[in-house]
Structure 1
Amino acid sequence: MKNKSIVLACAILLLIGCHRKWALPPEIQPSPREFTAFEKTLLQTSNGFGIELFRELAQEEKTQNLCVCPLSVSMALGMAWNGAGGDTKSEIQRVLGFGDWAPEQINQTYKNILDLLPNLDPHTVLSIANSIWYREHFPIHPSFIQLNQTFFYASVRGLDFNSPQAPQIINQWVNTQTRGKITEIIESEFIDPTTMLFLINAVYFKGTWMSPFDPKNTREDVFVSSEGDSLSCQMMHQEGEFSYDENETFQAVDLPYGNGAFSMTIFLPKPGHSIHEFIDSWTETQWNEWISRLHPVSLMLQMPKFKVEDKRILNNALTTLGMGIAFDPTKADFSPMVVKEDVSIEDNLFIQQVLHKTFLEVDEKGTEAAGVTSISVGIVSVRPVMRIDRPFVCVIRETSSNTLLFIGRILRV
């Protein structure tokens, strides 16, 4: 089941029944304070960005599981936005849905979200961490560092990127922040010599169902993939009262964690309606409407245990959404990241890659999830870079006549 198309939050089997009731979710315990109207607007806008990104990635590849952490991507891009200028900054701002909001408002709202979200439910673990790793001696601008330390609580460290220890140090941070669920974000032994810095966000979530499933009721069953294959799975069972809704195209159920501040909402397209059609038509407006229609219903719920580990490069999707300049080495403007008078290179900084990894596991107790987004920022050097780190051919010759003395094929060193 792991490698088939179970598109997250959209493919769970559930049946209606009239059996004993679980208590409805209690009222959410008060957060440290209420979200302001502006913060709610930013969060709703972030939802719009997340749905658009999910929809774009779903279009790129339709046969495998897909899992996205929009909050992680938004946080990493928010840090990059603080170091962008001109059209590059405007495009990132527009894609994230910030409109013409003032930078001070946006940064302060990110900070408030970091303060509030992890503290909404003492029974649910949510941690959000940001970091900046830059090449030692690279003249990174103090104001760029200060903005991200102040508003994103980013830890900042300069490293010798030429050392094989550098990827290990960064990966250890990722491993720690995700409680071992994502062990690395830099997969090569050495960092590309044209990479100047990494902006990394890590999100970790662990929630226990408000009404856990009884493992005694879990049994082997069948899950039908989008290709029509019958896959063996472990199906959990529970009967009770849930927030639920359905229309002519899908069923939806909401499963709360802890005190109800967080929940998993599942959308199940009805027979004759494909998962791809559902995702293609999904919008932020529909999301808000669907959630508002959930209401208490007595339900027989049958839901598979599942685990998803996903990896995506987001460059193409983000370009399609409208921030292509950031990836263009001839047009990108990240000059606010660097102290200009100290720069010994003439090339512009640009985003080389946005790498996104996620982990999600659902069982009888609840859910454990993690998401990491890494933005590598670098240069196109005026000097060609030749890194001999793979098989090559070497020739020893006499230079005036080009007489061949030795020819070697080197597969291992």
Structure 2
Amino acid sequence: MDFKSTSNTTFFVCALSLLLTACKDAEIKLPSSGETANYPVVTQTKPTASSEPGGGGQISASGGEKSICPDSGDSSSFDMVKKVSRSYNHFSVELYKSIARDAKKERNILISPLSVAHSLSMVMAGARGNTLWEIGNVLDIDGTAPASTTREQYFSSALLHENINQFQNYLNEPSKPYTSTLSINNAYFPSRHIRIEQDFSKTLEQCYDSKITPVNFTEQENAAETINDWVFKATKGIIPKIINEEEIEINTTSILTNAVYFKGLWKKPFDPKKTEKDFFSGAGNDGFVETDMMYQSNAFKYAKSIRMDTAKIDVLELPYDEGRYSMFIFNPSGNDAQLDQLESEMTSDNLTNVMESVSQENEYTVSVLIPKFTLNDKLELVDYLKYQGINSAFGEGADFSRVSVIPNHISNVEHFTNVEVDESGTVGAVATSVSYTGRSMIDSFIVNGSFLFIIRDNNSKSILFIGRYVNAG
């Protein structure tokens, strides 16, 4: 997959496509020759006394029977934002670990687990039964439910999506007057040849600000062009294409997409004049390779020789302009075995505790040397999601009957990411034992080997991107 180069621009960006396909015994009535089928996007459903989105008597944030986003209760409730963040973070770390375990040691990795989790949350609005149960469990989303509500009630309720709506609205709040930008965009492309349930489409539109555009999947080229055009605009041209026309089949029922775009300028930028060629030796390099290394000596929050179980690492926080966002670099000092140990032992709790410990440190003068790098990644996630515990969604037994009466299942989940890190910045309850060695007047944080990095929203503690850089070749 090609990515557009953006010189003098630094960013993190990702796009995800989730493709639903009709089950083998399902019948999609296609238009005959010369006939144009154009079913309405939604069908009117009679309100029922259920807890599902759109049903009478549903569980909602306001306690009323018909409260659905955007009037999602108290939008100022930051406590709910943090609860959703904790659930997503648990999923984020476990997804990354499953990818890292399977990947070759010399492979760079970059994912936005936020994008994946958010897409699965939208899918929950169309799922029932075991399919719904598995997705909710893997997302650990029941941690956002009120104590009086059972899992079964909450997973199928409007309240779940109202709570996630609060989380999305918070992350999409502009950080004016600063230059950091984070945007989450969603879109849904159903087939013109099937009827989509009203409650599902309403939830996507009102709780996820999702654009719904019916397409004709029998015209593969036009359908792919429509979807790729949306991705191009949502990622500001960085990811021009997310799906090929060959991937669209005649029994494709819909494609759900999500794009996350982040751009931030360092609070303390690096001087390009001090960037020089130096040696980098990661697990993906045969010996040392020359690469551009950025240097500065400045006051940063920094923790030396942190122990996470048995892994021993140095951690540096590089904040973006106003400090709402930061990149945390976990440096095993060129020791690939320590990076393996870190990836094996890390959990959402101990990573959060380490990042909080670093953020609460005083600033110290540190000589920083880190690579300037560009990283592109493409992952097919179905097997990883199955490993996490989502199985029925991908087979003939999937229950997405809240999407359409036509039986369908998820046939593919593709995740594209791109990052450029340069001198100006970036565009794109377990207890943790933290120990420190003695400090010199000026410490050095030299990253000339494999390392792990996280981009985080510091207020909600939400992990936006996570990756490892092991190959500078």
Alignment TM class, shorter chain as reference: 0.7 to 0.9
What does residue 335 of structure 1 align with?
A: 401
Note if contact 2:92-2:113 (Cα within 8 Å) is conserved in structure 1. yes
Tell me which moved more, 349-358 or 96-105.
96-105
Rounded Cα–Cα distance in structure 2 between residues aligned with 1:235 and 1:35: 43
What does residue 353 of structure 2 align with?
A: 289
Cα displacement string for residues 385-412 of structure 1 (whole angstroms, at most 9, x for unaligned residues): xxxxxxxxxxxxxxxxxxxxxxxxxxxx
Amino acid at match of 2:170: L
Rounded Cα–Cα distance in structure 1 between residues aligned with 2:160 and 2:294: 42
- 1:153-302 matches, within 5 Å, as 153-163=209-219, 164-189=221-246, 191-227=248-284, 228-246=286-304, 247=306, 249-272=312-335, 273-294=337-358, 295=361, 296-302=363-369
Rounded Cα–Cα distance in structure 2 between residues aligned with 1:317 and 1:190: 20
How many residues are treated as equivalent by the alignment?
334
Rounded Cα–Cα distance in structure 2 between residues aligned with 1:332 and 1:71: 24
Q: How far did residue 356 of structure 1 move?
A: 0.6
Structure 1: gaps of 5 or more residues:
1-8, 10-31, 373-413
- 1:381-392 matches, within 5 Å, as none
Rounded Cα–Cα distance in structure 1 between residues aligned with 2:414 and 2:116: 9
Tell me which moved more, 263-272 or 137-146.
263-272
CA 1:48/1:167 → structure 2, altered by over 3 Å: closer, same or farther?
same
Rounded Cα–Cα distance in structure 2 between residues aligned with 1:55 and 1:190: 28
CA RMSD after TM alignment: 2.1
Q: Given the alignment of the two structures, is residue 121 of structure 1 paired with residue 163 of structure 2, yes or no?
A: no
What does residue 418 of structure 2 align with?
A: 359
Note if contact 1:174-1:184 (Cα within 8 Å) is conserved in structure 2. yes
Amino acid at match of 2:95: L
What does residue 135 of structure 1 align with?
A: 191
Q: How far did residue 114 of structure 1 move?
A: 2.0
Rounded Cα–Cα distance in structure 2 between residues aligned with 1:160 and 1:218: 51
Note if contact 2:313-2:338 (Cα within 8 Å) is conserved in structure 1. no
What does residue 51 of structure 1 align with?
A: 93
Large movers: runs of 4+ above 4 Å: 32-35
Q: How far did residue 190 of structure 1 move?
A: 6.2
What is the DSSP-based 3-state SS (H/G/I as helix, E as strand, rest coil) of the residue aligned with 1:158? coil
Q: How far did residue 293 of structure 1 move?
A: 1.4
Amino acid at match of 2:297: E
What does residue 70 of structure 1 align with?
A: 113
Q: How far did residue 206 of structure 1 move?
A: 0.6
Rounded Cα–Cα distance in structure 1 between residues aligned with 2:247 and 2:269: 45
Rounded Cα–Cα distance in structure 2 between residues aligned with 1:355 and 1:174: 13
Q: How far did residue 34 of structure 1 move?
A: 5.8
Percentage identity across paired residues of the two chains: 30
Structure 2: gaps of 5 or more residues:
1-11, 13-73, 146-153, 429-454, 456-463, 466-473
Rounded Cα–Cα distance in structure 2 between residues aligned with 1:120 and 1:242: 25
Rounded Cα–Cα distance in structure 2 between residues aligned with 1:33 and 1:332: 34
Cα displacement string for residues 196-246 of structure 1 (whole angstroms, at most 9, x for unaligned residues): 101110011110001110001000111101155212110000111111112
Rounded Cα–Cα distance in structure 1 between residues aligned with 2:225 and 2:116: 22
Give me the TM-score of the superposition, normalised by structure 1: 0.77
What is the DSSP-based 3-state SS (H/G/I as helix, E as strand, rest coil) of the residue aligned with 1:114? helix
Q: With a CA cutoff of 8 Å and minimum separation of 6, indicate the structure with the bigger relative contact order.
A: 2
Note if contact 2:228-2:240 (Cα within 8 Å) is conserved in structure 1. yes
What does residue 80 of structure 1 align with?
A: 123
Give me the TM-score of the superposition, normalised by structure 2: 0.68
Cα displacement string for residues 2-25 of structure 1 (whole angstroms, at most 9, x for unaligned residues): xxxxxxx9xxxxxxxxxxxxxxxx
Rounded Cα–Cα distance in structure 1 between residues aligned with 2:86 and 2:214: 35
